[in-house]
């Protein structure tokens, strides 16, 4: 299945932020303070939710 996304400038910024947070997550050691892990996790979760909504909207618009 192929879905074509037409992302807004805000959504593109969110995608960029997700990529940065994911890279930060990959580079953060397990021994980092819990608040660091919580901040990264919270940011990733928020970005993922916004991007998932964009995918869902595009899929519905394309009859999927």
> H-type helices in 1-64, by residue range?
9-27, 34-61
Cα 58 vs. chain centroid, distance in angstroms?
16
pLDDT digits (tens, 9 = 90+) for 11-53: 999 999 999 999 999 999 999 999 999 999 999 999 999 999 9
Q: What's the whole-model pTM score?
A: 0.88
Q: What are the Cα distances from residue 23, in Å, to 19, 20, 40?
A: 6, 5, 10
């Amino acid at each position: 299945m192929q879905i074509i996304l037409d992302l807004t400038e805000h959504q593109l910024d969110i995608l960029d932020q997700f990529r940065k947070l994911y890279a930060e997550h990959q580079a953060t050691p397990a021994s980092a303070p819990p608040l660091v892990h919580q901040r990264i996790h919270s940011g990733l979760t928020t970005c993922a939710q916004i991007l998932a909504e964009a995918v869902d909207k595009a899929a519905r618009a394309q009859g999927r």
